[in-house]
Amino acid sequence: QLFRASLRLRLPARAVIKTAPRLSPRLLDGGWYILVGLGSLYCGWQLIAYVSAALQWRDLLEVSQLTLFTMIRVVLLIALASLLWVPVGVWIGLRPGWTAKIQPLAQFLAAFPANLMFPVAVVMIVRFDLNVEVWVGPLMVLGTQWYILFNVIAGASAFPNDLKEAAANFRIRRWQWWRSVMLPGIFPYYVTGAITASGGAWNASIVAEYLKWGDTTISANGIGSYIARMTEAGDYPRIVLGIAVMSVFVTIFNRLLWRRLYGFAADRMRLN
């Protein structure tokens, strides 16, 4: 009878929990993009209204030309820094003993406040009557060039040993070794370092293109010196205009160059 009674027992009905309907990730992304777009349009409209009340079209043309000067300076400096530090970084990265010593040093130099050297640069430029347009350039990459170095070191250190042995067995030497073996291997790392160095150079232009030490002032043509001079004068409409134009130039520059290089490195230069 107990067995029959136990058969009659039934488990309690399963509770049904009602949950709120979940929004699809695509819908959430779309809503977020719409919100950001509307916010950007509103901020842009307010920016145009604020600047146009005090400035004219020739001010925009002047700022655009100065930003172009700084962009050319940044491109040339990143190219020169790459020619210097890519071979050095590869040489260090292929030697583990040197990598362990130099990698922390390069990271320290990247974090070192380069503006501490600016007074020395002012004295040297004035003392030897150097061209300001040329010699403020190294100050822009003084603290950012190290990103190229330690990223290239990391890329060379991660290069697979079997590929190095295969290149040695096939006797791939000199320029062919660089073009077919090493440069494709370190390219993703190099692009990461170059992007970081480029962004740092744009920021450094504000303090590097307009130098003051005591009663001595040195100014180069560029958007950095423009923003620094307007900040010193308290001219807020021109400060806003300079920052806005520089931001637009940097965004376009990143999308046209660095984003494509980064995608190319991710799609075509992976070793795994």
Model confidence over 174-226: pLDDT tens digits?
A: 889 998 889 988 999 999 999 999 999 999 999 999 988 888 889 999 999 99
Phi, psi of 216 (to 5 degrees): -95, 130
H/E stretch holding 237:
helix 236-253
Q: Collapsing DSSP states into helix, strand and coil, what is residue 219?
A: strand
Cβ contact 51:237 at 8 Å? yes
C-alpha to C-alpha distance for 188 and 167, rounded to whole angstroms: 20
C-alpha to C-alpha distance for 116 and 175, rounded to whole angstroms: 39
C-alpha to C-alpha distance for 190 and 153, rounded to whole angstroms: 9
Q: How many degrees, rounded to 5, is the angle at CA 229 between CA 205 and CA 125?
A: 60
Instruction: Give the residue among 82, 104, 80 at the shortest CA–CA distance from 154.
Output: 104
- pLDDT for 216 equals 85
Tokens 């040093």 belong to residue: 105
- pLDDT for 224 equals 95
Q: Collapsing DSSP states into helix, strand and coil, what is residue 217?
A: strand
Give the CA dihedral 253, 255, 258, 263, nearest 10 degrees: -170
Cβ contact 143:106 at 8 Å? no
Give the pair of three-digit tokens for residue 109.
Answer: 């130099």
Q: How many degrees, rounded to 5, is the angle at CA 61 between CA 56 and CA 66?
A: 130
Q: DSSP labels for 167-197?
A: HHHTT--HHHHIIIIIHHHHHHHHHHHHHHH
> Which residues lie across from 212 on neighbouring strands?
217
Which residues, given as ranges, of the chain have pLDDT below 70? Answer: 1-23, 269-272
- pLDDT for 236 equals 92
In terms of residues, how long is the chain? Answer: 272
C-alpha to C-alpha distance for 142 and 111, rounded to whole angstroms: 11
Cβ contact 211:135 at 8 Å? no
Give the CA dihedral 212, 217, 222, 228, nearest 10 degrees: 50
- pLDDT for 113 equals 85
Cβ contact 228:41 at 8 Å? no
- pLDDT for 243 equals 94
Cβ contact 139:210 at 8 Å? no
C-alpha to C-alpha distance for 198 and 55, rounded to whole angstroms: 30
Tokens 């958007």 belong to residue: 223
Give the pair of three-digit tokens for residue 13.
Answer: 């009905």
CATH fold, domain 51-268, is MetI-like fold (1.10.3720)
